Structure 1
């Protein structure tokens, strides 16, 4: 938002102090909506998050709005369809795989809420997220509403873990190819993997990941499913179809944590599946488990 000089505002009604909610899912939903608002708003535009409560209906409403490019009426039905992009030209200009809104809609349903959108081309969009405010069977959970400048650029990164990561036995420095377009995630993973003795190559799009896999021949690929240009599932299928890269170990990394999502990643050809935010011990165990045969062979493949 700062790079594009977008004025992002936050307005919270005085009576909304705490809600009963899954804070992890709520944060991810708001991150998805605010990230889109900033992504599709031109330089010098505006975006915001308004939070209100309706005690009569026991509903808390999060409204994310922007003055961006807007959405045509005929494209509204595609918004919440996984991997659907409303315009191939826009997808090239405004990178993304089309998963964010679909994931948000599914999380809203799991939380017992609803999502609605109003938009007009060249005038902006307004997404309304309505959730149960207070539940009788749940203790109140205080939600810290961060500065939306921070939320709009935030994504789950590596969660700390006290466990020691598994160690390799062959003394060889394996090459990990990370396909990820979120800079905080890249920086966190770069630091962690370096500490574990892994060399790291980074690709920020699906197509770049395929090209790097062919040229660098990494030992393992960490493939974020929501990378731009070509989504992670399509990239995994392409790597598996190419004899030069078919044997590379692949771990799907994604915020898709609902039933069936793991199976879809594995069916595409992934050897492993890890959900965000990443647990470092689980990540180390997954990498070590796939690289162990290589370690036992003394680095020969």
Structure 2
């Protein structure tokens, strides 16, 4: 009887233990289901948030692009409409000076000459606005031909010589005998040099000196065209505004110099279209030195002579608003990497980075909508590891330090040596 009682009690406890195990198992299963459900809800909420944020960025990008397009169209249309009456004004002033409508006395001739001078000045400003609008709208196509750099330089010096003589400025030139022909658009190359030389004349006081130098860097395949002056100089805090349109560093009601502030902006954009870069050095009351660096020999890589340097299997994101640079980099990189993705501004770069998770990013710094510096900062908030190579056509003091501080791994300047770029990509990968 005692044994039976013990067995009965044992069975009872075993039964209780089985029930407890079952209850615990059910509890664990319910907990897992609840956790899974909660995680699923969180994932769905994050996916919804991501989609909403992506949609917001896409909408914002589209609105900004539309606003930029409308601005460019407005500027182009207004420039065109203003040129029509100006042509009539200039034509009439010329005919009056020729005496076609009768002879004028000295005072009248002087007045008509003032009208003509003012009209031509206004026409040059309108042309600058039109050129900038066309560039920003992507409607400028370069006519790339062999161009003699010394010949273009001499023509530009002749064009500003009278203005320099009026201010008693000394003009000097120094040409590297090794440099002659480069591949460029002759008209726009003249515009680059004329804008730099005109600025040098404008901001150099009487008795100063303006120097034009041309040097070749055979190792980097670069021609450097430098315009320096002994003028007023530029403060360090003004450097970032130099190449922005409609900005003058002496802006305001008391400014001493005429102009729209488009000259340097055009220089930068035209230099970038040529695949080159521009750098500036300056000290207050000591003068400024602007250097335009352009490709010298091989602008576009010859695919029949591919470099032995291949990029490790990778997905690359190329961010640049210059279609020509995009094409050159894409043509060069697509034969060396797995996948190439393109973005035209900072906002698109952020979206593409989230979408494709590239192994490396080539980021231009000067772009519309959102520049490369801000895009790097935004990307680094969410991704600390993707290597970013910053590429710029505008080189100003402190720019490299700011770019690396923002999160870039490397800082390169145009014109790019493509094989060196491939080596740099491999080193970061």
Using the size of structure 1 for normalisation, the TM-score is 0.51
Unaligned runs of 5+ in 2: 1-71, 84-126, 138-155, 172-192, 200-234, 250-255, 277-294
Q: Is the 8 A contact 1:177 1:200 kept in 2?
A: yes
| Paired residue secondary structure (1:195) | coil
| Deviation sequence 1:59-116 (CA, Å, 0-9, x none) | 496359xxxxxxxxxxxx9x9552x6xxxxxxxxxxxxxx7349x999xxxxxxxxx8
The equivalences for 1:132-171 within 5 A come to: 151=270, 154-156=273-275, 159=299, 164=307, 166-168=309-311
2:410 corresponds to 1:272: yes
| Paired residue secondary structure (1:166) | coil
Q: Is the 8 A contact 1:165 1:281 kept in 2?
A: no
User: What is the aligned partner in structure 1 of residue 160 from structure 2?
Assistant: 52
Instruction: Give the CA RMSD over aligned residues.
Output: 4.5
User: What is the aligned partner in structure 2 of residue 233 from structure 1?
Assistant: 373
User: What is the aligned partner in structure 2 of residue 179 from structure 1?
Assistant: 319
Distance (Å, rounded) in 2 between the aligned partners of 1:126 and 1:264: 25
Task: Tell me the CA shift for residue 118 of structure 1.
Answer: 2.9
Distance change in 2, residues 1:42/1:286 (3 Å): closer
More strand by share: 1
Higher relative contact order (CA 8 A, sep 6+): 1
Distance change in 2, residues 1:80/1:241 (3 Å): same
User: What is the aligned partner in structure 1 of residue 427 from structure 2?
Assistant: 289
Task: Tell me the CA shift for residue 41 of structure 1.
Answer: 9.7
- The one of 97, 100, 103 aligned to 2:243: 100
Which consecutive segments of 4 or more residues in structure 1 shift more than 6 A?
5-8, 40-43
Stretch deviating more after TM superposition (158-167 or 267-276): 158-167
Aligned residues: 194
Using the size of structure 2 for normalisation, the TM-score is 0.37
Task: Tell me the CA shift for residue 227 of structure 1.
Answer: 1.7
Q: Is the 8 A contact 2:128 2:262 kept in 1?
A: no
Task: Tell me the CA shift for residue 176 of structure 1.
Answer: 0.8
User: What is the aligned partner in structure 2 of residue 74 from structure 1?
Assistant: none
Stretch deviating more after TM superposition (267-276 or 196-205): 196-205
| Deviation sequence 1:117-165 (CA, Å, 0-9, x none) | 635xxxxx36568xxxxxxxxxxxxxxxxxx9x9588231684679935
2:178 corresponds to 1:38: no
Q: Is the 8 A contact 1:160 1:279 kept in 2?
A: no
Q: Is the 8 A contact 1:233 1:268 kept in 2?
A: yes
The equivalences for 1:194-273 within 5 A come to: 194-242=334-382, 245-273=383-411
Task: Tell me the CA shift for residue 252 of structure 1.
Answer: 0.4
Distance (Å, rounded) in 1 between the aligned partners of 2:397 and 2:135: 33
- The one of 306, 330, 340 aligned to 1:190: 330
Q: Is the 8 A contact 2:300 2:328 kept in 1?
A: no
Q: Is the 8 A contact 2:311 2:426 kept in 1?
A: yes
